[in-house]
């Protein structure tokens, strides 16, 4: 059976995850399997930013792997426009991964330590876009500028170990943007950074998303960071969706007990019992 494909450069497609299950095989000494996702459904409209929130072990990263084509669901469907992601063969994944890029949680592990920043950013330009080698340096400098790594001429020759954690994550975001994707999947992109650096990275993600008109699946356990960059929230608990809604509505008026537990765990002095309150006089 053939798989429909969309041409690069088309309008931003809609991501639809429909009743997806994921079961991992059990080990040699145990029977059955591990149910990581159960009947998960979500939709990301063109240009929309959706937060997938839940505690560690809730299935967030498993879903990210399925959406990016790294794994396949045990049941259910994933579509991106007219493309059936859950049916892609290896050769078709290359085109899909140009359109759907992952921003990794760990910027230290995401970059090859033996290559320069310039080399890391040049690879998607050459491999996905077929950029003219004579133009690559100019495009890399433009990418560095777009993520606030200036003066750009100094950063292009740096090695990953010469950068701070926040600078590495900016390089990772620039690399994800290089292929001109339609959807970014950001898996806990600020969880390994100092608190002082997180706001800058979140603002960068939000600004580049709006500027380029791309969609964002923002995966996190931190509801405060989700408030900054998302339009809508999907709350995941033990592999199941337990609540969805507009971000502000879910945070101010959580309906499910699990969502209320997540909010209650936040170290925020302005957090009321019913949601995210505002400072007095603010």
Asked if residue 30 is part of any domain, the answer here is yes
Q: How confident is the model at residue 268 (pLDDT cuts 50, 70, 90)?
A: low
Asked if residue 137 is part of any domain, the answer here is no
8-state DSSP, 254: -
Asked if residue 222 is part of any domain, the answer here is yes
Asked if residue 51 is part of any domain, the answer here is yes
Residue 1 has pLDDT above 60, yes or no: no
Task: Please enumerate in sequence order all residues whose Cβ is within 8 A of that of 142, keeping only pairs 6 or more positions apart, or say none.
Answer: none
Summarize pLDDT for 76-135 with one digit per residue, the tens.
999 999 999 999 988 888 889 889 999 988 888 999 999 999 999 999 998 888 778 888
Asked if residue 223 is part of any domain, the answer here is yes
Q: How confident is the model at residue 279 (pLDDT cuts 50, 70, 90)?
A: very low
pLDDT at 134: 82
Instruction: Give the Cα separation of 72 and 241 in Å (integer).
Output: 19
Alpha helices (H) in the chain, listed in sequence order = 60-67, 90-99, 107-110, 117-127, 133-146, 152-155, 165-178, 195-212, 223-229, 247-252, 257-264
Asked if residue 248 is part of any domain, the answer here is yes
Whether 203 contacts 173, CB under 8 Å = no
* Strand, coil or helix: 219: strand
Whether 184 contacts 101, CB under 8 Å = yes
Asked if residue 257 is part of any domain, the answer here is yes
Q: How confident is the model at residue 207 (pLDDT cuts 50, 70, 90)?
A: very high
CATH of the domain at 75: 3.40.50.300
Residues pairing with 104 in the sheet: none
Asked if residue 132 is part of any domain, the answer here is no
Whether 22 contacts 66, CB under 8 Å = yes
Q: How many structural domains compose the chain? A: 1
Residue among 65, 169, 70, 79 at smallest CA distance from 117: 169
Q: Domain range holding 245?
A: 15-106+183-270
């Amino acid at each position: 059976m053939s798989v429909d494909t969309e041409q690069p450069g088309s309008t931003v497609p809609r991501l639809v995850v429909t009743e997806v299950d994921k079961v991992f095989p059990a080990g040699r000494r145990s029977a059955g399997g591990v149910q990581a996702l159960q009947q998960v459904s979500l939709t990301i409209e063109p240009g929309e930013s959706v937060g997938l929130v839940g505690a560690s072990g809730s299935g967030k990263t498993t879903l990210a792997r399925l959406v990016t084509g790294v794994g396949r669901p045990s049941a259910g469907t994933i579509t991106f426009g007219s493309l059936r992601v859950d049916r892609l063969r290896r050769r078709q994944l290359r085109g899909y991964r140009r359109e759907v890029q992952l921003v990794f949680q760990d910027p230290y592990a995401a970059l090859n330590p033996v290559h320069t920043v310039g080399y890391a950013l040049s690879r998607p330009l050459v491999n996905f876009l077929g950029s003219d080698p004579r133009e690559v340096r100019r495009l890399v400098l433009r990418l560095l500028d777009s993520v606030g790594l200036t003066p750009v001429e100094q950063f292009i020759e740096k090695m990953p170990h010469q950068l701070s954690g926040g600078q590495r994550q900016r390089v990772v975001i620039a690399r994800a943007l290089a292929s001109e994707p339609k959807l970014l999947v950001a898996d806990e992109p600020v969880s390994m950074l100092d608190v002082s650096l997180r706001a800058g990275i979140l603002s960068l993600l939000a600004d580049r998303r709006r500027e380029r008109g791309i969609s964002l699946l923002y995966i996190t356990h931190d509801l405060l960071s989700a408030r900054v960059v998302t339009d809508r929230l999907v709350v995941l608990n033990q592999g199941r969706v337990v609540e969805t809604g507009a971000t502000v509505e879910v945070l101010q008026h959580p309906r499910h007990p699990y969502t209320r537990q997540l909010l209650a765990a936040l170290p925020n002095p302005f957090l009321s019992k019913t949601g995210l309150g505002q400072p007095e006089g603010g």
